[in-house]
Structure 1
Amino acid sequence: MTHDHDPVLRPTETQISQALNPPAGRIGGDLVVETLAGLGASTVFGLPGQHALGVIDALRRSDLRYVGLRVENNAGFAADAYGRITGEAAPLLLSTGPGALTSLAALQEAAAASAPVLAISSQVPTAGLGGGRHGYLHELPDQAASFRGVVKSVHVVRAPSQIPSAIAAAWKSALTAPHGPVWVEIPQDVLLAQARLPVVTGVDATPEDLPPRPELTAVAAHLLSNAVRPAVIAGGGVVRADASGKLRQLAERLQAPVVTTPGGKGAFPWTHPLSLQSWLEDRYTTEFLQDADVLLVVGSGLGELSSNYHTFRPKGRVIQIEADLGKLESNHPALGIHADARPALQALLETVSRREDPTARERVRDLLARVRERIAAQDLTLEQRVLASVRRALPAGSPSFWDMTILAYWAWSAFDAGGPNRMHSAQGAGGLGYGFPAALGAAVADPTRPVLAVSGDGGALYSVAELATARQHDLNVTWLIVDDGGYGILREYLTDTFGRTTQAATELTRPDYVALAESFGVPAVRTTPEALESDLAKSLATPGPGVVVLPAVLRMFAPTHLD
């Protein structure tokens, strides 16, 4: 039996000489930064730590840009946003034990939102692995075990020669659909050990494709082509796959109305005649989607927020395209197609028949009118005015990052993201403190456009330390803090559930945010609902960081679930 082999690229004499005579003084940490650079990374986020000094020292000998934040969780949020904006795996450098564990909430959000984050953590020296034998500072019995239930994959290194391959495998995992955070663990002594390997110059870590099975797309195309009332739910998978253009083509060919989930904001043009916008927390929208005889769900698991808190009960056939295998049919029976959104939509575009439906756009207009009438009847003028002011002040093309606050909950339903990959929130895992540090990561990714962060005063207290980061790196981020005196949404939840709030839990003593920002050297202004648009626009137009504080008590719209 004979085998054909790919031709072997033989190294040149210069390459051989360089490999045999690597620069002196290199250590395991150099293998880390060389591998990252070889994979195409240009920026790393993180914090230094005792066991991670080998990597921090190696950064001096590399061209990688290091952006240090003040809290590991915030560094994780910044890396998350950098990954979302660039589509690259964002390196996050962490130290052992407490430093690593502090990043867990951020990595959970990255996992829920499919953001590619490459977390590289130090570990105690190899002699101390196993826990408790040597009493090292920061020691855990099994550090990697703390992350296995959160990240997409775990890669453990125990010798210098393992570093390039482990990081390359993690990089590939992070960028293979569905994107997600990954974890690499390297002991202190391995990072400090003399590097005898040649300089890492190029690494192949090409992500694997995830195409659909053709027999499944053939059935899906048949169902959609022959549907009477097709509709589409577009989730974050459409945005992550850069498939918004293909979604629009398919919707127009099928004349199928499209609604976007909170994670899929911007996946479909807001003012398109087939756009149902994002009013998923609305009983009229729920009824509309239930009435579809064929419902195409792309890049969404139809979780709590995307199913009107699990009140959605589809009556027709459901076709679900999802890159995360565990989400296929996890909430509703469907024709499940395990695939990345982009190749799956392309396959449907090549096989569906064009439909004519003169009533589709009229039904969309009627639904949106009913939604507007319902909101208008609830005396929520202030909330709508504030959200509209934010939209007008935010330049076209600028991204926005929203913390878990009442204005963000409004934005999930009522805010025009302005395009794909431009509105991001912590709706995946739902932790506080996301908005501002994530906006900093986006500003690092693209310094040519101002970035907006939105927080409540409760969430802002998670992130105030990063005002120092914003100033140190002169990042173009404007931070809008809506100050309502506490955890506003939890105040509403407690009152709605029990008739009263627990004031010790929801009412907060907080700083003068204007004075606090100015103490960091960050310009700040206290505004009003009437002046918000002009104050926000001015801050966004001014290079560098800025803070706008809006004292206001906002309310949520009334519950909109089906009975």
Structure 2
Amino acid sequence: MSGMMTGGAWLAASLAASGQTHVFFVDAVLRRTLLALSEAGVAPVLAHTEKAAVYMADGHARVAGRPGIVAAQSVGAANLAAGLQDAYLARTPIVALTGRKVPAHQHRNAYQELDHAPLFAPVTRYRADVAEAADLPRALRQAFAAATATPPRPVHLDLFGLQAEVVEAGAVPGPPADLSAFRTPLHRPEPDPAAVAAAARALLAAPRVAIVAGDGASLSGCGAELLAVAEALAAPIATSLGARGIVPTRHRLHIGVAGAYAAPPANRILQEADLILMVGADTGDMLTNYWRTPAAGSRIVQIDADPLEFDRSYPAIVAVQADPRAGLRALAAELGKPVREMAYLQAAQAHVAAWRAAIAPRLASTASPIDPARLAAEITAALPADGILVADTGYSGIWTGTLVEIEPTQAYLRAAGSLGWSFPAALGAKCAAPHRKVVCWSGDGALYYHLAELETARRRGIAVTLVVNNNSGFGQGWPNLVRQAGNRPDAAAELLRFGPTDFTQVARSFGLDGIRVERPEDIAPALRRAMAADHTMVVDVATDIEARAPAPWAPEGR
């Protein structure tokens, strides 16, 4: 295709040529482009809020491995920017397109017009104004490159015109751009051999080594290399919540999620290590349980593609800048097959075995209201070998991150902190993987945020299994608030209880179907029926707000 094209035609043809299958948006923006995209076989998905559209693009990008595309007009830009926070924190590549009123209309009290740059600055790596269509080829390529650079982050293009119509109607010299090479991880830098040798010496000198694999390790896809290094060092492996499933969660070296969302064994095991190998791990408060495990002063070796992660919270005795897969592969070769003391690993395995034995009765609980631990066990059994589990933040992350078992052939996506993220993200994930089963775990408090997207699921024919952990309140904070209220549940209920709501009835009002589950023995057949459906089904599980998720271990007095 050569000659001149309109901006809208060029943008649509370029997104189609780049392998994009869906674009998520809220009207009114890029209407010419969206019509052309539909004709080119790229599905425009109209959402009901800009945040939901961003979350859909986020889920899509995490599964597809290429940038998610989201768009909104100028007056919706602030809402769209707010939705990018989760993608930024989760290191998701997203290209956000917004309309922007022309300069002659700015600074004149134009309707709902704000300065976009300050809104997007904290949640994007790169942003640019696109004043005319001729700027599109350069700007779009730079946006894709920036979004997929290490670590991936959202980017923002502000297209002139309230609905981007100035850019759409202008002229672009063809042909369209093929940006399909911009996938994550885009670059896999090799490590410095001297740094690898220094890391190997430090690790071999430490009798008790543990490994913490973070979201950067998950992005790298280095599960096999991680296991090879762990086997050589007889080192237990903990992961961030976002890296759950990078190695089989039932593997003998795996000790669970580390940090604030951990089951009891992981933090205790890490605390007993002489040295910790951090692989693609951000050392933030959630991964370290507020910097208590590892303790301050712990000996750390880091492998990370992003040099800004070195020495952020813990001084690194050796820092290896490399793609985690490349760095671990080089480290495994340098380590060879050393003879290691096994006592630390055996003690770690005993901790994990004791924890599994202690939690087992809850996984088989027959209590009603239902213990969410039983729900987690049933999802473990029901999730197919290539299934995708999408979890919300808060207790949804803890229940799934500690009690649902995940294999590397499956996928586990979790919110980086935005309540209500999971359902729209699950719809986006399903768009990216139409032949895989997608199960969403959402609390009822989270689901209220984006209930309207049930209509989107029906209209677009997106089939996910939406499991609602329905305890008629915000369960994570419930016991603390009851205590703060002087052990008066009625007083606490004014702040944290809502409903009760039968979400199956809500689903039917949107033209979908649902199954209400009030007995534990009914969970499995409900999941089978919902996952077999060719449309979104709600599995509304009546759970006990008093049930406590596993709590992390922390050192005494800290």
With normalisation by structure 2, the TM-score equals 0.89
Task: Select the residue among 151, 155, 160 that pairs with 2:124.
Answer: 151
Residue pairs, 1:96-115, within 5 angstroms: 96-97=74-75, 99-115=76-92
1:542 alignment counterpart: 533
Q: Is the 8 A contact 1:76 1:103 kept in 2?
A: yes
User: Residue 302 of structure 2: which of 317, 320, 328 is its match?
Assistant: 320
Over 3 Å counting, the alpha-carbon distance change for 1:490 and 1:105 in structure 2 is farther
Matched, 1:458 2:442: no
Partner of 1:425: 414
Distance change >3 Å, CA 389–CA 380, structure 1 → 2 = closer
Alignment match, 1:353 = 336
Q: Deviation per CA, 1:373-398: give whole Å up to 9, x if none.
A: 66579999433322111211222220
Deviations 1:367-420 (A, max 9, x none): 113434665799994333221112112222201111125343122222212226
Cα distance change on mapping 1:499 and 1:354 into 2, 3 Å: farther
Residue 314 of structure 2: which of 321, 324, 332 is its match?
A: 332
User: Given the alignment, which residue of 196, 203, 212 partners 1:233?
Assistant: 212
Give 1:218 shift: 2.2
| 1:368 matches 2:352 | yes
CA contact under 8 A between 1:298 and 1:320: conserved in structure 2? yes
Provide the secondary structure at the position in 1 that maps to 2:450.
coil
Task: State the Cα deviation string for residues 30-66 of structure 1 (Å, max 9, x = none).
Answer: 23223323433232121221x5434334435533222
Partner amino acid, structure 2, of 1:371: W
Q: Which AA in structure 2 matches 1:466? A: E
How much has 1:345 moved relative to structure 2? 1.6
Partners of 1:558 and 1:33 lie apart in 2 by 49
The aligned residue for residue 373 of structure 2 is 384
> Which stretch of the first structure deviates more once superposed, 305-314 or 516-525?
305-314
The one-letter amino acid of 1:244's match is G
> What residue ranges of structure 1 are gaps of 5+ in the alignment?
1-17
Q: CA deviation at 1:443?
A: 0.8
Q: Give the equivalent residue in structure 1 for 2:325.
A: 342
1:212 aligns with 2:191: yes
CA distance in 2, matches of 1:407, 1:41: 30
Quote how far apart the aligned CAs of 1:87 are. Answer: 0.8
Q: What's the offset of the Cα at 1:83?
A: 0.9
Q: Which amino acid aligns with 2:493?
A: Q
Counterpart of 1:276 in structure 2 is 255
2:14 is matched with which residue: 35, 57, 60?
35
1:293 aligns with 2:274: yes
* In 1: Cα distance, 2:469 partner to 2:543 partner: 6
Contact 2:430 2:462 in 1 (8 A): yes
User: In 1, Cα distance between the equivalents of 2:497 and 2:13?
Assistant: 49
The CA RMSD measured in Å over matched residues stands at 2.5
Change (3 A) 1:351 1:558: closer
Structure 1 segment 122-133 matched on structure 2, within 5 A = 122-128=99-105, 131-133=106-108
2-side partners of 1:216 and 1:44: how far apart? 43
Cα offset, 1:324, TM superposition: 3.7
CA distance in 1, matches of 2:240, 2:33: 40
Report which stretch shifted further, 112-121 or 343-352: 343-352
CA contact (8 A) 1:273 1:364 kept: no
Aligned length: 534
Distance 1:505 1:211, change over 3 A: farther
Q: Provide TM-score, normalisation by structure 1.
A: 0.88
The one of 31, 39, 48 aligned to 2:27: 48
Residue in structure 1 matching 2:393, options 404, 407, 414: 404
| Partner SS for 1:530 | helix
| 1:10 alignment partner in structure 2 | none
CA gap of 1:59–1:137, structure 2 versus 1, over 3 A, is farther
Shift of 1:318: 0.6
Determine the structure 2 residue equivalent to 1:137. Answer: 111
Q: 1:84 maps to what in 2?
A: 62
8 A Cα contact 1:46 1:92, kept in partner:
yes
Structure 2 residue ranges without an equivalent (≥5): 366-370
**What's the counterpart of residue 193 of structure 1?**
169
Shift of 1:561: 2.2
Q: Distance in 2 between matches of 1:60 and 1:512?
A: 36
Q: Assess if the C-alpha contact under 8 Å between 2:191 and 2:320 holds in 1.
A: yes
Report the secondary structure of 2:449's partner residue. coil
Render the CA deviation track for 1:445-480: whole Å, top value 9, x for unaligned: 111121101111111111211111111122220101
1:295 and 1:282 map into 2 onto residues whose CA distance is: 19
Deviation string 1:535-557 (CA, Å, 9 cap, x unpaired) is 11221122221111011123234
- Residue type of the partner of 1:350? A
Change (3 A) 1:81 1:379: closer
Residues 405, 456 of structure 1: 8 Å contact kept:
no
Q: 1 CA distance for matches of 2:432 and 2:419?
A: 22
Q: Using the TM superposition, give the Cα deviation of residue 498 of structure 1 relative to its aligned residue in structure 2, in angstroms.
A: 5.5
